[in-house]
Amino acid sequence: MTLTENIQQDDLGSIRLAYFLSTREIARNEPLSATGNPEIDGPINDAHRGNLPKVIPILEELTRETGMNVEVALIVCDDPTLMRDFSDFEIPLHQEPSTYPQAYRQAGMRKEEGETKGDFRARIAPVVARAKAEYEQRLLDVLEEHGIDLVISDRYMRLFGPTFLNEYIGLVLNSHPAILPEIPGAIPTSGALERARETGHDFTGITCHIVDHGEDTGPPVLQNENVPIYPNDSEATLRARNYQNEGGVLAEGIVQHLRNPDTQNLIRLRRECSQANGNREQVLDKMRTVRERMIEEHHDAFSAFRRNRESIKPGEYRYRFRRQEAQQPRRPLRQAATACR
């Protein structure tokens, strides 16, 4: 019997989802829009709350079709000074401000005279790593307290470290407003415009993907390339147009991922792990086995899709993970994790 056989949705009951956001992009890569054009400013500024306003009603509709009971349990936001307004949602809000950037700055103030940049960076790295591990452990404590099964990273603008992913890898989805693996990173709209100018590829879209240890390197669960790039587009106009589709893709990607038997088994094992005492390491080993196979299968399926995509015109495809597409020989996880770079 495999680890995914005889897994029934009835075993899971209500599935609790945590929504992670950050407000840092308001001051960095995604400035608030003030063009004076409501068709541009409205979608961009609304998007600074993330996709939650669109995800909730779509998720409710899609989950009725599947019979799953999915609830948003809390929002974790890492900057209380720029907190978005979620007063119109009856969702528990947990603010968890970031501390490790402050630790980095404090360490930087202790730079000694004559120390090279390389020496300085090497000396403070353990300080930053320790602060990040402590921060992520606090996040894990919050998720444990609320019984979270699945994490959604939406405008979170932060790479998850090993402390967090060792517990939740395979159960974290990210919404990326561009096509992966071609356009990763924090400025996907700019990347899409640059690619259009250089290659003539005049479409962009949305990718809902599993989060791994890299930056936008995890395999897609759902991907739509259906947003045209026009010759007179600016970053603001293209971003506003693309944001219109993001909530639907993310919501459908969540449901698609939850219908995967491997995901359901990971959730069951995650709950078992939180209740385990002496056999916690044994349960974690089972989780590693399931998630490594799951990520490999997703990478294999996406690679197979991309090989067959040459006959599909840009803007006309919609990728969705299907288990039967994964027919390639399995690769070690360390190779699979970089396959979509």
Which range, 1-5, 159-163, 324-328, has the best average confidence (pLDDT)? 159-163
Q: How confident is the model at residue 126 (pLDDT cuts 50, 70, 90)?
A: confident
Give yes or no for residue 213 having a pLDDT over 80: yes
Residue 8 lies in a domain: no
Query: pLDDT digits over 55-90, tens only?
Result: 888 888 877 777 778 888 888 877 655 556 667 777
Beta strand segments in the chain, E: 14-21, 69-77, 93-95, 150-153, 172-176, 203-210, 220-228, 317-320
Counted residue by residue, the chain has a size of 341
Q: SS3 for 31?
A: coil
Note the pLDDT of residue 117.
65
Give yes or no for residue 3 having a pLDDT over 80: no
C-alpha to C-alpha distance for 236 and 242, rounded to whole angstroms:
10
Give yes or no for residue 273 having a pLDDT over 80: yes
Give yes or no for residue 279 having a pLDDT over 50: yes
Residue 7 lies in a domain: no
Catalytic residue, candidates 176, 209, 257, 299: 176
Q: What are phi and psi of 318, to 5 degrees?
A: -145, 110
Give yes or no for residue 123 having a pLDDT over 80: no
Over residues 208-237, the mean pLDDT reads 94
State the total domains in the chain.
1
Residue 5 lies in a domain: no
Give yes or no for residue 232 having a pLDDT over 60: yes
Residue 306 lies in a domain: yes
Note the pLDDT of residue 10.
52
Q: What is the CATH number of the domain that holds 314?
A: 3.40.50.170
**Which residue is listed with tokens 């939650």?**
52
DSSP class of residue 329?
P
> For residue 121, what are the domain limits?
13-336
Query: Higher confidence at residue 64 or residue 335?
Result: 64
Residue 27 lies in a domain: yes
Q: How confident is the model at residue 92 (pLDDT cuts 50, 70, 90)?
A: confident
Return the structure tokens found at 31: 């400035």
Query: Higher confidence at residue 68 or residue 291?
Result: 291
Give yes or no for residue 138 having a pLDDT over 80: yes
Q: How confident is the model at residue 329 (pLDDT cuts 50, 70, 90)?
A: very low
Over residues 293-305, the mean pLDDT reads 94
Residue 209 lies in a domain: yes
Residue 275 lies in a domain: yes
Give yes or no for residue 194 having a pLDDT over 90: yes
Task: Please give the mean pLDDT across all residues of the chain.
Answer: 80
Give yes or no for residue 26 having a pLDDT over 50: no
Closest by CA position to 161, among listed 220, 98, 119, 111: 98
Return the structure tokens found at 5: 């056989």
Query: Higher confidence at residue 64 or residue 2?
Result: 64
Give yes or no for residue 335 having a pLDDT over 50: no
pTM for the model stands at: 0.84
Note the pLDDT of residue 184.
93
Q: For 89-103, 207-221, 269-283, which range has the lowest pLDDT when averaged over its residues?
A: 89-103
Give yes or no for residue 338 having a pLDDT over 50: no
Give yes or no for residue 24 having a pLDDT over 50: yes
Q: How confident is the model at residue 289 (pLDDT cuts 50, 70, 90)?
A: very high
Q: Is 299 a catalytic residue?
A: no
Q: How confident is the model at residue 43 (pLDDT cuts 50, 70, 90)?
A: confident
Burial class (CB within 10 angstroms; exposed 0-12, middle 13-18, buried 19+) of 278: exposed
Beta strand segments in 78-200, E: 93-95, 150-153, 172-176
Which range, 11-25, 210-224, 239-253, has the best average confidence (pLDDT)? 210-224
Give yes or no for residue 251 having a pLDDT over 50: yes
Q: How confident is the model at residue 280 (pLDDT cuts 50, 70, 90)?
A: confident
